Structure 1
Amino acid sequence: MLIVDVCAFYSDRGGGVKTYVRHKMLAGPKRGHEIVIVVPAREAGHERINEHARIEYVPGRRFPLDGRYHYFHDERALHKRLDALRPDLVEASTPWACASMVANWRGGAPRSLIMHADPLGNYAYRWFRGVAPRDVIDRSFDWFWRHLRRMDARFDHIVCASDELAARLKAGGLRQVVTNRMGVQPGIFSPAHRDDDLRRRLLNWCDLPTDALLLLGAGRHAPEKRWPMIIEAVTASGFDRPVGLVIAGDGRARASVQRAAAGNPHVRLMAPVTDRPAFAALLASADALVHGSESETFCMIAAEARASGVPMLLPDGGAAADHLVSDAGYHYGAADSGSLARAIGQFLEDGTKEHLNVARAAASNTRTMDAHFADLFALYEQHDVQAAFAA
């Protein structure tokens, strides 16, 4: 099959979507499929990944909220490109205009909408959670639910990476929902990468001794990641116990994260670690991962922490919650710094050793991207078989 992914949010400087797309271009050809990723960019171009996978860059407009990305603005040009490619299946990677453009294409190929984004979770629920219950928020954003139901009627699959998102979409009236959990890149993350000297150096950077608790956060500096809330909780936890926090990341909310960390020598900010083996060592060397977003569609960093044998402190909502290993960390009340501070306190009371042992024992059971794509392509191949019989 020729599978074309109309991917609105891919960037060489991106995070989870880039990781996902790059692995798809390796996994597809192994099953005999050709993969073409169509990406909006400043100018046209192409990048050959292997004999059966490539990225095609088409002219797009700069995304105003993040200069790393562009967006599709010319539906006719996109349809013309799809006509020329003649795909056997088309994917759209976000539920916004990208999905509408793919739905409007007159070609006869089956279509899948991959829910890499959860706009209601990222925006509506986060903005209004303090003033209205979720069912009221949903009614206020019924225009978006109507849009999703229109897409559901025009796509063959709405692919979700978590049970929580899939359940919400089904409750909202969507019928083509398929749950296919994503996974980590195989062969990269492991408890074996734990480096006690790296841990010591990170704690020293946080102006703390080696018997302190080392928490790690990683991800974009964006409002939905709630870094200031995490820093507030860590600061409160550290008044009478030594707790250090290192956050690896960057983004448009950098200034607010810097302000939150200012004045606390036990909280350090570092640039994103793009070298995967180096990041695997950083992750495995922490005493726990701390994460703040309750609106993840999968939460790649939590999956990578699980594969690294690291306990986690995770919000009790969204896809992140699914990754917690029982007795290897805690859930806390989403968006509640006091609840997170109490979870950190309980983690310290327990002592990290048993949590780490449980996390390390469970690491090898972490789902990989190979398993995700095997399931995804098997779903697509059903359409290929049906088309062959129809012919």
Structure 2
Amino acid sequence: MTMRIVDVCAFYSPHGGGVKTYVEQKLRASRPGEQQIVLVVPGAQDAVIPQESGGFIRVVKAPLFPLDRRYRYFRDETALHDVLDALAPDLVEVSSPWSSPAMVARWRGRVPRALIMHADPLSAYAYRWFSGVMKRNQIDRQFDWFWRHLRRLDDQFDIVICANGHLGRRLVEGGLKKVQVVPMGVQPNLFSPCLRDIRLRARMLARCGLDERATLLVAMGRHGKEKRWPMVFQGVTAAGFGNPVGLILFGDGRSRASVVRAAAHNPHIHLAAPVSDRHMLASILASSDALVHGCEAETFCMAAAEARASGLPIVVPNYGGAADQFVPGQGALFTAGSAASLADALRHFLAGNVFGAREAAVAQADSIPSMDMHFQRLFSLYLQQRDRISNAA
């Protein structure tokens, strides 16, 4: 019997982003006769958008989110409950730790509920804001209201899914009892070291004002404060003294002005637009020498996973989803939030055997899990939850 999975997806935006990419892959991963995926998303007008997979997107009219007008948010709880009643799901999942899971928890339907931790607000905000003056356990005590909120959701939901071990351990230490770590993966049959193109590499280095003898670092991500791009630029600039290093950052976002100002101090840093062509993205990654990433608040870090699948060493913070991707001998770890530590890690990496690190990464590129594997495990967990509720009824 087909299991209808309804995803109440508050972070969805038609303009793009990691959540949109993830849920669209989930739609494609569903199998006719086994799963039907229905996305319930906030939008400008009520609508139903059919999908080739046999699922569909149910758009619920909702207001703009005041802090980021690319997004909307669920405000009418009754309307959301009416939509869930009409859809009659076998399981409901919610991909936000804020108000929408509380709305879904209050829905009277007798089906299992899953909370997906697509965000880590404490790492993205509280730890970043206050780490200079307080230890993390002290910050946690100050934000105990948020931990109480998460523990209430844990009580109300049947399963809590996160994609990296760091976050999973913190949730358990914070008192949650239903945590399951289900790592994500990369789009299958796309990323490969075989796509390396030395002419593309030379063109990217030329964008950085350097020739082919330099090391080409690549970075991918939204221009947001939690991504710490100015810190990354400081570390790369410091490491670049005595080491010809170019960095290309592909991305855009609300913090673009501050990112542009920070990059202006180094002629070897080039800012490029986001890459919407996934095949071109795969070629860019395979043709670079290493990926550098600055954000410790990633719930998985797709950029690092895609880089590893492309045979790239990675230089990443020692915390969060990016750290989960690190393999010794295939790049370097640095202390999260520290430009000086990043500079030291890059100097060590550049002074070592960069070619050997890439050879090691290439040798293990095929071992990176695919998103198909992620969804197979996720759907299996959901089936177990459905059967458990059915057997108990």
Fold shared, TM-score > 0.5 on shorter chain? yes
Task: Identify which of 341, 344, 358 aligns with 1:342.
Answer: 344
Report matched runs for 1:179-328 at 5 Å. 179-328=181-330
CA RMSD of aligned residues (A): 1.2
**Secondary structure of 1:309's partner?**
coil
Cα deviations by residue, 1:299-339 (Å, 9 ceiling, x for unpaired): 11111111111000000011110101221100011111111
Report the TM-score, using the length of structure 1 for normalisation.
0.98
Taking the aligned partners of 2:346 and 2:168, their CA distance within structure 1 comes to 30
**Contact 1:28/1:34 (<8 A) preserved:** yes
Task: Identify which of 6, 9, 20 aligns with 1:7.
Answer: 9
> Does 2:52 match 1:43?
no
Taking the aligned partners of 2:343 and 2:33, their CA distance within structure 1 comes to 47
- For 2:282, the aligned partner's letter is A
**Secondary structure of 1:385's partner?**
helix
**Contact 2:159/2:179 (<8 A) preserved:** yes
Taking the aligned partners of 1:359 and 1:188, their CA distance within structure 2 comes to 17
Taking the aligned partners of 2:237 and 2:15, their CA distance within structure 1 comes to 31
Report matched runs for 1:77-116 at 5 Å. 77-116=79-118
**Secondary structure of 2:58's partner?**
strand
Match of 2:332 in 1: 330
- For 1:297, the aligned partner's letter is T
**Secondary structure of 1:244's partner?**
strand
**Contact 1:213/1:244 (<8 A) preserved:** yes
Match of 2:67 in 1: 65
**Secondary structure of 1:62's partner?**
coil
Taking the aligned partners of 1:264 and 1:386, their CA distance within structure 2 comes to 58
Taking the aligned partners of 2:14 and 2:280, their CA distance within structure 1 comes to 18
Task: Identify which of 364, 367, 370 aligns with 2:369.
Answer: 367
CA distance change for structure 1 residues 313 and 197 in 2, over 3 Å: closer, same or farther? same
Taking the aligned partners of 2:33 and 2:25, their CA distance within structure 1 comes to 13
CA distance change for structure 1 residues 318 and 366 in 2, over 3 Å: closer, same or farther? same
Cα deviations by residue, 1:265-294 (Å, 9 ceiling, x for unpaired): 200001100110011111111100000001
Cα deviations by residue, 1:196-245 (Å, 9 ceiling, x for unpaired): 11100010111101010100010000011000000011111122221100
Cα deviations by residue, 1:50-107 (Å, 9 ceiling, x for unpaired): 2521111111111223222111111110001001111010000011001111111111
Taking the aligned partners of 1:386 and 1:149, their CA distance within structure 2 comes to 22
**Contact 1:33/1:52 (<8 A) preserved:** no
Cα deviations by residue, 1:153-192 (Å, 9 ceiling, x for unpaired): 0000010111111110111111111111111111111111
CA distance change for structure 1 residues 17 and 252 in 2, over 3 Å: closer, same or farther? same
Structure 2: give runs of 5+ residues left out of the alignment: none
CA distance change for structure 1 residues 252 and 140 in 2, over 3 Å: closer, same or farther? same
Taking the aligned partners of 1:214 and 1:351, their CA distance within structure 2 comes to 15
Structure 1: give runs of 5+ residues left out of the alignment: none
CA distance change for structure 1 residues 133 and 18 in 2, over 3 Å: closer, same or farther? same
> How big is the shift at 1:31?
6.5
Taking the aligned partners of 1:263 and 1:292, their CA distance within structure 2 comes to 18
Match of 1:76 in 2: 78
Task: Identify which of 349, 374, 378 aligns with 1:376.
Answer: 378
Taking the aligned partners of 2:9 and 2:201, their CA distance within structure 1 comes to 37
**Contact 2:27/2:53 (<8 A) preserved:** no
Match of 1:170 in 2: 172
> How big is the shift at 1:390?
4.8
Report the TM-score, using the length of structure 2 for normalisation.
0.97
**Contact 1:6/1:93 (<8 A) preserved:** yes
- For 1:102, the aligned partner's letter is V
